[in-house]
Amino acid sequence: MATNDVLAVHGGTPLQGRIRVRGAKNLVSKAMVAALLGDAPSRLFDVPRIRDVEVVRGLLELHGVRVSDGGEDGELVFDPANVERASTDEINVHAGSSRIPILFCGPLLHRLGHAFIPDLGGCHIGPRPIDFHLQALREFGAVVEKTPEGLHLTAPNGLRGTKFELPYPSVGATEQVLLTAVMAEGVTELRNAAVEPEIVDLICILQKMGAIITVHTDRVIEIQGVPRLSGYTHRPIPDRIEAASWAAAALATRGDVEVLGAEQGDMMTFLNVFRSVGGAYEITDPRAPRAGHPGQEGGIRFWHPGGELKATALETDVHPGFMTDWQQPLVVALTQARGLSIVHETVYEQRLGYTEALNKMGATIQVYRDCLGGTPCRFGRRNFNHSAVIAGPSKLHAADLVIPDLRAGFSHLIAALAAEGTSRVYGVDLINRGYEDFEAKLAALGAHVERP
């Protein structure tokens, strides 16, 4: 961690104002990989300036894709005319920096017949294996060789469509199958697929490129392989994780924040929980301009309406459930709710470690190995602290905090903003992995923060 990688946060001021979210991190990075499959340039709008985008851009450029800025702020153009093999040493510069490189497998096998994937990075929120990815790739006919430097993949007989059922609706493994199946020979049927809005948006992109993909009921996706794909022009769905993070910050600090660009449809489950704990929101729909705000961009305004927040029970789940990435920011607001709130984390086995820091600040959170408040999940009998009981309301006080991962990091930031006194939050640069210009946004919302 660099010595200046710290933020002094003077807490106790409600966040107030308006900020804007751009394209979803967890779609944009995949859309960039999809551009590799085309035989013509692709254009992507609303790309946030975040670390994950830089990593994928670097990997694309190493493989001969020309990436340039388009005419609009946040527009990127990808020209895959000269896709070529990159050296393992150069690729390894990106080792440990993101999980997206694993999604290069299918597109590189189609374009070059070979793929090298460095060690993956990403947040440490559980073991995060890639067994589903590798199993699926082998079903398509890929040969995977694991070496100390990374994974080497080849497809000696090409890639052929297959029938595959995921043991769990993994987002990444579903994307892996989509990005591979679109140009594999024949039909692929994927069962128990993830159907997150980011996946549906990726399907829209692939369809624009010429793919034939049908989403059936009950998590079944059918892909008819095609021999070639062209480029795409796409404006991605907005970042619903970032939007919910700012919503939780508004609630925890008793503030009022309008998140321009946020969309109701992708956030329905979050909005229901937000309202049931006592938060207020208003959809500021651009199609129904409000008096005095003609033609203004729409979004969602989130605020604390006064009085006490109410405890709640929630369980994280795959879409359309409550997203695991919404959990950590919202828990900070739950420390301010009267009564006992229960959170059952069913997506990642180790995503509650950050609650220790909140306890240090005065919260009362107890974690349990049992599946609390919901149906038993995969982690029930496996000794993981994956349920939490939050007793509130608790007065939070300032502390020195070290950010463990991206979403937990944002929750630390919210806690520091809600607490009385000056906290020092170390490792804040990690937040740049997924939140564009977060320091400028904090300033726009009236937060008192500075790099000491």
Q: Buried b / exposed e across 415-437, counting CB within 10 Å, b at 16+? A: bbbbbeebbbbbbbbbbbbbbbb
- 132 makes contact with ligand EPZ (CB under 6 A): yes
25 labelled binding-site residue: yes
Smaller CB distance to ligand EPZ: residue 205 or 309? 205
| Separation CA 421–CA 32 (nearest Å) | 42
Q: What is the DSSP letter of 407?
A: H
Stretch that binds ligand EPZ, among 163-171, 223-231, 300-308, 413-421 (CB under 6 A): 163-171
Q: Which residue has the tokens 């199958």?
A: 177
- 219 makes contact with ligand EPZ (CB under 6 A): no
Contact yes or no for 189/163 (Cβ under 8 A): yes
Identify the residue among 9, 47, 123, 332 touching ligand EPZ (CB under 6 A).
Answer: 123
Stretch that binds ligand EPZ, among 55-63, 70-78, 130-138, 394-402 (CB under 6 A): 130-138
- 294 makes contact with ligand EPZ (CB under 6 A): no
Catalytic annotation on 123?
yes
Identify the residue among 128, 338, 424, 448 touching ligand EPZ (CB under 6 A).
Answer: 128
Smaller CB distance to ligand EPZ: residue 170 or 394? 170
Identify the residue among 133, 234, 301, 386 touching ligand EPZ (CB under 6 A).
Answer: 133
- 126 makes contact with ligand EPZ (CB under 6 A): yes
69 labelled binding-site residue: no
- 201 makes contact with ligand EPZ (CB under 6 A): no
Identify the residue among 37, 130, 243, 416 touching ligand EPZ (CB under 6 A).
Answer: 130
Q: What is the signed CA dihedral for 126, 131, 137, 143, rounded to 10 degrees?
A: 120
Shortest CB 301 distance to ligand EPZ, Å: 24
Q: Which two tokens stand for residue 184?
A: 């594999």
| Separation CA 201–CA 44 (nearest Å) | 12
Q: Which two tokens stand for residue 53?
A: 């985008």
- 159 makes contact with ligand EPZ (CB under 6 A): no
Shortest CB 142 distance to ligand EPZ, Å: 15
Identify the residue among 337, 434, 438, 449 touching ligand EPZ (CB under 6 A).
Answer: 434
User: Residue 314 is which amino acid?
Assistant: L
> What phi and psi values does residue 450 have, to the nearest 5 degrees?
-155, 155
3-state secondary structure of 173: helix
28 labelled binding-site residue: no
Identify the residue among 9, 205, 332, 406 touching ligand EPZ (CB under 6 A).
Answer: 406
Q: Count CA within 13 A, CB hemisphere, residue 17.
A: 12
Pairing of strands 6-10, 422-426: antiparallel
Shortest CB 172 distance to ligand EPZ, Å: 3
What DSSP letter does each residue of 219-246 carry, written as one string?
TEEEEE--S-B---EE-PPB-HHHHHHH
Sequence-distant contacts of 92-96: CB under 8 A, at least 24 apart: 92/118, 92/119, 92/149, 92/150, 93/58, 94/55, 94/58, 94/59, 94/118, 95/119, 95/121, 95/150, 96/120, 96/121
Stretch that binds ligand EPZ, among 8-16, 167-175, 256-264, 437-445 (CB under 6 A): 167-175
Smaller CB distance to ligand EPZ: residue 79 or 345? 345
Q: What is the signed CA dihedral for 7, 13, 15, 17, rounded to 10 degrees?
A: -110
- 170 makes contact with ligand EPZ (CB under 6 A): yes
Residue nearest ligand EPZ by beta-carbon distance: 172
**Residue of 123, 204, 371, 377 marked active site:** 123
- 173 makes contact with ligand EPZ (CB under 6 A): yes
272 labelled binding-site residue: no
User: Residue 230 is which amino acid?
Assistant: S
Shortest CB 310 distance to ligand EPZ, Å: 26
- 339 makes contact with ligand EPZ (CB under 6 A): no
Q: What is the contact surface with ligand EPZ in residues (CB under 6 A)?
A: 25-26, 99, 123, 126, 128-133, 168, 170-173, 194, 241, 324-325, 347-348, 406-407, 434
Write out the binding residues. 25-26, 99, 325, 347
Write out the binding residues for phosphoenolpyruvate. 25-26
Catalytic center residues: 123
